[in-house]
Amino acid sequence: MTLIRLTAVTKSFPPASATSAPVTAVDDVSLEVAAGSICGIIGYSGAGKSTVLRLINALETPTSGSVEIDGRDITRLRERELRALRSDIGMIFQQFNLFDSRTVAGNVAYPLEIARRPRAEITARVAEMLAFVGLSDKAKNYPEQLSGGQKQRVGIARALATNPRILLADEATSALDPDTTGEVLALLKRVNSELGVTILVITHEMDVIRTLADRVVVMEDGRIIEQGEVFDVLSGARHAATRRFVASIIEDVPAGPQLTTLRDRHPGRIVTFTVRDGDVTQADVFASLSAHGVRFELIHGGINDIRGRVFGHLTLALTGEPDAVQRAIDAATQIAPLIEEDSRG
């Protein structure tokens, strides 16, 4: 079931000065997020992903197009109705945005106070949420006494206090170190699996997408350039920007100076093949090469687990009789397409 649906959404901001053109932050974007899923939007700064997120909880209104939450077009709602809607959508931020004047418990209580819940219910719910994020002992502390990871966990507890169906995560781990990032991502996974909250994350880190998301949307210059299942997009990236993101976590086919270095270090012919889920087994490729009496060495690449499926590039240096090497390459190509780099790189 589709919970969030954007149809042909465009958002332009007025020009900064009288002479400049208006800025189109989001350009004809259509996307759907299924209830209970985790969707990731990846893109560089200025790609429009933050604006997309803010269109969903109506902190921004689209210039054209429609934004539907659970089948209801929210672009037609009035301010009062929007406040009720926002109560049903949690949001967390890169800089956490906690209220410095309130304790940890006070921060988590804030959305409940806004929603006018009875005091006893607020107390109980705050305790429950702090237990969920593992910060029960910090209830009376102030934000400045917490580490970055703890602050984000308070942010998550605050975002989920009103029991929303949707959680929007705006670069939620970008200000954290790798260990803490792992903790927060694991917590977000629990939010999704244990509480059934639909999560939309925006990030510029492919690792976040690989760890967390079911589906990924790649944005550039306000447009969606690619979207699909995470494995499909990562293993079959078509667009240059997508490939750059993929290359940040998965060793690509070597090129440029990297290839020159490999060539200097390893004699013989350098070939790369792609291992993609069940398509190709390495054993078959290696057996075929061995059968032709060719020696090979793994010099670059790796195998990656993407949501339980296998993908990667393996680069080999082949040495032996030139004719035998050629025969070996021809035979192996029958099993897996071998990409051979031009000797000049």
Partner 1 sequence: MDRLIDLLPELWDATLETLYVVTLALIFGGLLGLLLGLALYATRAGSLFPHRALFGTLNVIVNFFRPIPFVILMAAVQPLARSVGVPGIGPEFAVFAITLASMFAISRIVEQNLLTVRPGVIEAARAAGASRSRILFGLIPREALGPLILGYTFIVVALVDMTAIAGAVAAGGLGEFAIVYGFKQFNPAVTWAAVLVIIVIVQAVQFLGNALARRVLRR
- Residues forming contacts to partner 1 in the complex (CB under 8 A) are 57, 59, 79, 83-87, 89-91, 93, 95, 97-101, 110-111, 114-115, 142, 144, 158-159, 162, 168
Distance, CA of 309 to CA of 233 (rounded, Å): 13
| DSSP assignment letter at 337 | P
Distance, CA of 85 to CA of 101 (rounded, Å): 26
For residue 273, report the phi and psi dihedrals to the nearest 5 degrees: -130, 160
Please say which residue, 79 or 179, places its beta carbon nearer to partner 1.
Answer: 79
Distance, CA of 220 to CA of 14 (rounded, Å): 20
Distance, CA of 292 to CA of 63 (rounded, Å): 64
Rounded to a whole number of angstroms, the minimum distance from the CB of residue 210 to partner 1 is 27
Please say which residue, 59 or 339, places its beta carbon nearer to partner 1.
Answer: 59
**Sign, CA torsion 103/108/111/117:** negative
Rounded to a whole number of angstroms, the minimum distance from the CB of residue 100 to partner 1 is 6
Evaluate whether 167 touches 92 at the Cβ level (below 8 Å). yes
Please say which residue, 142 or 286, places its beta carbon nearer to partner 1.
Answer: 142
> What does the DSSP assignment read for 9-53?
EEEEE--SSTTSPPEEEEEEEEEEEETT-EEEEE--TTSSHHHHH
Rounded to a whole number of angstroms, the minimum distance from the CB of residue 91 to partner 1 is 4
Q: Given phi > 0 = left and psi -120 to 50 = alpha, else beta, which region is 63?
A: alpha
Residues 53, 54, 57: CA angle, nearest 5 degrees: 100
Rounded to a whole number of angstroms, the minimum distance from the CB of residue 85 to partner 1 is 8
Distance, CA of 161 to CA of 193 (rounded, Å): 17
Please say which residue, 160 or 336, places its beta carbon nearer to partner 1.
Answer: 160
Please say which residue, 92 or 219, places its beta carbon nearer to partner 1.
Answer: 92
Please say which residue, 110 or 231, places its beta carbon nearer to partner 1.
Answer: 110
Rounded to a whole number of angstroms, the minimum distance from the CB of residue 96 to partner 1 is 8
Please say which residue, 59 or 335, places its beta carbon nearer to partner 1.
Answer: 59
Rounded to a whole number of angstroms, the minimum distance from the CB of residue 192 to partner 1 is 19
Rounded to a whole number of angstroms, the minimum distance from the CB of residue 24 to partner 1 is 19
